[in-house]
Structure 1
């Protein structure tokens, strides 16, 4: 293992962050050293990093991975990382993809480890999660706590259900503002995402493929949480234009009364899956009846 590069020196050589790109560079050596360790149980042979910045975390990743692919939107920092790590690039151990992480073609990586740009952390996460690869990522602390929240808590919401549909979520470390340059306005947290199959099935309704069933499930969750202060009965009725239900009253009639009295924030992901299955069944039956009467 080589001596790690000094993150402050990297900033001095690379230049100051660009506020337009939501850049907050991690400069605390202790945190930088710990982040790769949270992925020790994962296959780190090919690590994907989103948001290289000046390469401080990239440097640590190259110490534990056979190969690193890092994505950097800022062309100046992408060029700097290529130059700073020219030996690793030449050896075929590091690829620098210049572009938007939401648009570039991603390689066949084994896990991702990133200090995510906060402005796109949600979009990046939900591009990666369906790929079924483990991840360790830095988020705003409030966002991280909502990802890991349990049903019935104030932090629990659509983000919690959607993230936990794909993976086990652990907040493994909180990180103070002072660990970054420039300092963000909020605290941060490192989250470990371990993919797993959910204990419920959402792939048998509304179409012929699992993807269609999952799409309906996630859309149903999204719809109900727009009415999180309402009970489930009213949330279903009020959001048919979002969930795409043709007959929300028929769906309500098919659900147990004790569930209808609850609020969306009281339902765990498995219960949401049960409701989505009922809704999809009712929609199919209603559609069949309409088709047969024409």
Structure 2
């Protein structure tokens, strides 16, 4: 059974001393040592199914300790062999009881378990890659990122930070920044502030016939975010995989002019081709991708 949250937690600085390691910023190691932030991370996961919590980047175990207080089972993925060995030793009773599993390896490569929620202070260098390995699993998560990355992830259309990351993350989940974390909460201090993001899986409000193509299409258009959608579609066919970009533009114009597919016209409006990517909603991207799939790809 999980420990009660009232139990005394291990001191983060003492864990670092016992581990006998020095965090290496060059290897993306910044240990979270602020007790108040550590205490709040599991609280942000209240309401989530915490039967089996995944933690990516266990470090010296300060967050692991707190997760064991609220979860039935915890799996930690730690790529540093010395830290993985330390976690097994430090939490040997939980390991023996089957409540803690320590997986040594890179979180981008190892087989992830069937977890019910993820709570992690992620290594900054793999933020994007691990986020998009986790999001398609459709499990709720509380994740620590660089502040800039977190704000881009949660941004809305029309905001300066809105981009490919915002659309892609929002395709899988509702995303909210729940706390900004100062540099002083870590040892050694990173050069930037961090932020905690909470993701809640849900189905998007739109449908896409080919998810991989939709995501590639969004990526392509945002490579020319200063161009109008008309020009971005034409200029990025080699990225999105279109065979006939002009046919796609013609199809969008026909919809916008009311000549076809009234359901899409309601979503796209009359001026979508004159917009820039930063002002196009995810639903509009989905409608554009649908037309691109139908009219611009081989044999369409």
1:59-78 matched pairs, under 5 angstroms = 59-78=65-84
Deviations 1:194-221 (A, max 9, x none): 000001001x3xxxxxxxx000000000
Q: What is the deviation of 1:153?
A: 1.1
**2:200 maps to which of 174, 189, 194:** 194
CA-based RMSD of the aligned residues comes to 0.9
Deviations 1:95-129 (A, max 9, x none): 00000000101111100000000000110010010
1:132-143 matched pairs, under 5 angstroms = 132-143=138-149
| Map of 2:263 onto structure 1 | none
| Map of 1:100 onto structure 2 | 106
Deviations 1:3-55 (A, max 9, x none): 10000011111121133320111100000000001011100010000000000
TM-score, with length taken from structure 1: 0.93
| Map of 1:80 onto structure 2 | 86
Q: Secondary structure at the match of 2:69?
A: helix
Contact 1:217/1:276 (<8 A) preserved: yes
| Map of 1:210 onto structure 2 | none
Contact 1:21/1:74 (<8 A) preserved: no
1:200-211 matched pairs, under 5 angstroms = 200-202=206-208, 204=209
Number of equivalent positions: 278
Contact 1:145/1:171 (<8 A) preserved: yes
Q: What is the deviation of 1:162?
A: 0.1
State the alpha-carbon separation in 1 of the partners of residues 111 and 159 from structure 2. Answer: 37
Deviations 1:66-102 (A, max 9, x none): 0000000000100000000001000100000000000
| Map of 2:264 onto structure 1 | none
Contact 2:25/2:188 (<8 A) preserved: no
Answering whether residue 58 of structure 2 is matched by residue 52 of structure 1, we say yes
4+ residue runs over 6 A deviation: none
**2:272 maps to which of 256, 259, 277:** 259
Contact 2:220/2:239 (<8 A) preserved: yes
Contact 1:46/1:68 (<8 A) preserved: yes
1:13-24 matched pairs, under 5 angstroms = 13-14=18-19, 15-24=21-30
State the alpha-carbon separation in 2 of the partners of residues 193 and 92 from structure 1. Answer: 28
1:214-229 matched pairs, under 5 angstroms = 214-229=211-226
State the alpha-carbon separation in 2 of the partners of residues 49 and 20 from structure 1. Answer: 21
Contact 1:173/1:190 (<8 A) preserved: yes
State the alpha-carbon separation in 2 of the partners of residues 183 and 66 from structure 1. Answer: 32
Further displaced range: 49-58 or 257-266: 257-266
Q: What is the deviation of 1:247?
A: 0.5
Q: Secondary structure at the match of 1:233?
A: helix
Answering whether residue 5 of structure 2 is matched by residue 8 of structure 1, we say no
| Map of 2:283 onto structure 1 | 270
Further displaced range: 119-128 or 16-25: 16-25
| Map of 2:45 onto structure 1 | 39
| Map of 1:250 onto structure 2 | 247
Structure 1 unpaired stretches of 5+: 205-212, 289-294
| Map of 1:181 onto structure 2 | 187
